[in-house]
Structure 1
Amino acid sequence: MNYEKVREFENIIEKDYPNTCQMVVMKDNNIVYENYGCNCNQKSKLHIFSVTKSIISVLIGIAIDKGYIKSVDQRIIDFFPHYKIAPDEKTLQNITLKDMLTMTAPYKFKEEPYVEYFKSPNHLKFCLDLLGGSYKIGDFRYTPLIGPDIFSGIIQTSTGQSVLDFARENLFNPLGIEVDKNIVFKSAEEQFAFNESTNLSGWVSDEFGLNTAGWGLTLSAVDMAKIGQLYLNGGVANCKKVVSTDWIKKSTTHHSSFNDLMYGYLWWIIDDNSFAALGDGGNTLYVDKSQNLVVSITALFVPNAKEKIKLIKQYVKPAFED
């Protein structure tokens, strides 16, 4: 570790990223650096926003490995045989799991109806009702909140477990990650407080117990780093196969694009050697295969927070080069 370069990026974070709460760097399977702010410590849990999507990607892969889901080519409607499709809705019938994983599924809205979504007691039906429409399948369209909950419905329907229970059994427990409970908001004030909390362990769900898939999970930076290390280790943790190497490869391969940004299966592809999970506020899980390096950062939400990939590539990685 180059201490001079470490001090350099610490000064940059303090100046330009003051909402940063936890930062953990793992190299060659070991934690080599930790830093904490915002009155946080190693065990503090924060809302990781859209990093949740990449955790869902891991769970989808595990469900496929275990045979609960046949393949990414299954149609979305096949998972919900009791959902009634409007007679004039043709697009929905052809949307596949892969289309959704790559953010190339169409929706019926131009702008996400956030208020209506948060007020809805049934997030799955709300999202299914908006899937499809007149837009084209195959065009990249990133949907932060409305749509990803369909993944939760798929996991729940396929496995017979809630997303949180399935995650505990097949991902969290094998990695030594604790997520305490479902969190259901009774008011907007409770949701705002959740976004600012640093000591609440759980996963947001709707009134029917469906955990959110695009946001809503709280983890520590150490928790996220364990997931990054799992992917570096080919899906093995504590001598146990957690997720297949095949899924890791497929989910972190370039499948779709938006301008110069590349996307896999709910993971952002940075370049040939690195990929990342990114969330609002600058929450980041960055994995570099060539350097066997994981950088995990949690942060409190602030509007228009600066993304941290440039910071990691220009200042953090050089501090831990061999």
Structure 2
Amino acid sequence: MNDAMLLREIQAEYSNSAGLVVQKSGKLIYENYFDGHKETDSIHIFSVTKSITSILIGIAIDQGYIKSVDQKVLEFFPSYIIKRRENTIQNITLKNLLTMTAPYKYKWEPYTKVYSSEDWIKAALDLLGGNGTIGDFKYSTVGAQILTGVLENATGESMLKFSEKNLFTPLAISVPTPISFANKEEHIAFIKNKNVSGWVVDPKGSPTSGWGLTLSPKDMAKIGQLCLNQGNWNGKQLVSACWMKESTKEHARWNDLPYGYLWWSLDTDGSGTFAALGDSGSTIYVNPKEQVVIAIACRFKPRAKPRIELINKFILPQIK
């Protein structure tokens, strides 16, 4: 790879990049870290967390804890009390949460209301439904928090423990320690600090499903390689190939961008490409046709450019 050209582009247009890992056919072909970051540093991966949650949902289905994505969301919350005149919520399915086609009772996401509450799952459930139409795409980070409750209620154990046992330990990824915030300032510091580690949890100890996980670029590449291998890792099927195929294909669409089960489907050329995309540019990119996995970890930066153009113009052409 033309390292000088790539570095110039990153410095000029993607200066908040912390680390870049490129793999071809399962082998590391490029690795670099920027702005003082090291190989072992973990970074908050923002909404890339959603795609990892999708893998965990698939594992729970494979293991029989969840019957189907067509199950109604409220089946997992039998004690939840529905407010009067609220009928929409009863018909929302797990698939609607996974494909961002569930309606919510807000115009703009009420992050502060949810993340300052004592129970983030219930706070998110209270926002589900309303007068919107089931099936219309509405991207929701707070709504994704409901999936934590689905996993924990279905499996009977914490999402942290379930992910440790079924994903992180098999991939030899250091198990994220729970992080909680005492105030708004600690929350902001977590998002903005250069090197953070762990997984954000609510006051009850349940982790975030839509953001809040930290990983190193190499850890992100392991997740990508697992997905490229259709859920297989060193001969062991961690999540079914059927789930990986189903979860990374188009089920919904936001403008011209196809969306799967918490994955973005980028297959515009028959390559089967899909990606996990997070705020500030963090990316796990998987191209099955070229057998390429690219992991990019990025520090927080408002309105940072997505990394897909960087990948398509300055990385992929050099490794095909």
TM bucket, shorter chain: over 0.9
Alignment-derived partner of residue 113 in structure 2: 116
Confirm or deny: 8 A CA contact 1:283 1:299 kept in the other structure: yes
Map 1:1-322 to 2 at 5 A.
3-4=1-2, 6-143=3-140, 145-271=141-267, 272=270, 273-321=272-320
Task: For residue 286 of structure 1, report the CA deviation from its aligned partner.
Answer: 0.4
d(CA) in 1 for partners of 2:295, 2:315: 11
Letter of the structure 2 residue corresponding to residue 64 of structure 1: I
SS of the residue corresponding to residue 23 of structure 2 reads strand
Confirm or deny: 8 A CA contact 2:159 2:206 kept in the other structure: yes
Could you list the per-position Cα deviations for residues 249-300 of structure 1 after superposition, in whole angstroms to 9, with x for gaps in the alignment? 0000100001110000000011142000000110011000110000100011
Confirm or deny: 8 A CA contact 1:24 1:34 kept in the other structure: yes
TM-score of the pair, normalised by structure 2: 0.97
d(CA) in 2 for partners of 1:209, 1:308: 33
- Structure 2: 5+ residue runs without aligned partners? none
Confirm or deny: 8 A CA contact 2:33 2:39 kept in the other structure: yes
Task: For residue 198 of structure 1, report the CA deviation from its aligned partner.
Answer: 4.3
Confirm or deny: 8 A CA contact 2:43 2:299 kept in the other structure: yes
SS of the residue corresponding to residue 87 of structure 1 reads coil
RMSD: 1.0
Task: For residue 216 of structure 1, report the CA deviation from its aligned partner.
Answer: 0.2
Could you list the per-position Cα deviations for residues 288-317 of structure 1 after superposition, in whole angstroms to 9, with x for gaps in the alignment? 011000010001111100001111011110
Identity %: 50
SS of the residue corresponding to residue 303 of structure 2 reads coil
d(CA) in 2 for partners of 1:225, 1:132: 36
d(CA) in 2 for partners of 1:159, 1:52: 19
Letter of the structure 2 residue corresponding to residue 133 of structure 1: G
SS of the residue corresponding to residue 257 of structure 1 reads strand
d(CA) in 1 for partners of 2:49, 2:238: 18
Letter of the structure 2 residue corresponding to residue 174 of structure 1: P
Confirm or deny: 8 A CA contact 1:72 1:98 kept in the other structure: yes
- Structure 1: 5+ residue runs without aligned partners? none
SS of the residue corresponding to residue 30 of structure 2 reads strand
Could you list the per-position Cα deviations for residues 20-70 of structure 1 after superposition, in whole angstroms to 9, with x for gaps in the alignment? 000000111111110101221111001000000000000000000000000
d(CA) in 1 for partners of 2:273, 2:119: 36
TM-score of the pair, normalised by structure 1: 0.96
SS of the residue corresponding to residue 147 of structure 1 reads helix
d(CA) in 2 for partners of 1:230, 1:13: 27
Confirm or deny: 8 A CA contact 2:71 2:94 kept in the other structure: yes
Letter of the structure 2 residue corresponding to residue 147 of structure 1: G
Could you list the per-position Cα deviations for residues 4-24 of structure 1 after superposition, in whole angstroms to 9, with x for gaps in the alignment? 3x4322210111111100000
Task: For residue 77 of structure 1, report the CA deviation from its aligned partner.
Answer: 0.4
Confirm or deny: 8 A CA contact 1:121 1:206 kept in the other structure: yes
SS of the residue corresponding to residue 59 of structure 2 reads helix
Confirm or deny: 8 A CA contact 2:176 2:214 kept in the other structure: no
d(CA) in 1 for partners of 2:297, 2:240: 27
d(CA) in 1 for partners of 2:119, 2:225: 35
Could you list the per-position Cα deviations for residues 205-244 of structure 1 after superposition, in whole angstroms to 9, with x for gaps in the alignment? 1000111011000001100110110011121112211000
Task: For residue 76 of structure 1, report the CA deviation from its aligned partner.
Answer: 0.2
Letter of the structure 2 residue corresponding to residue 280 of structure 1: D
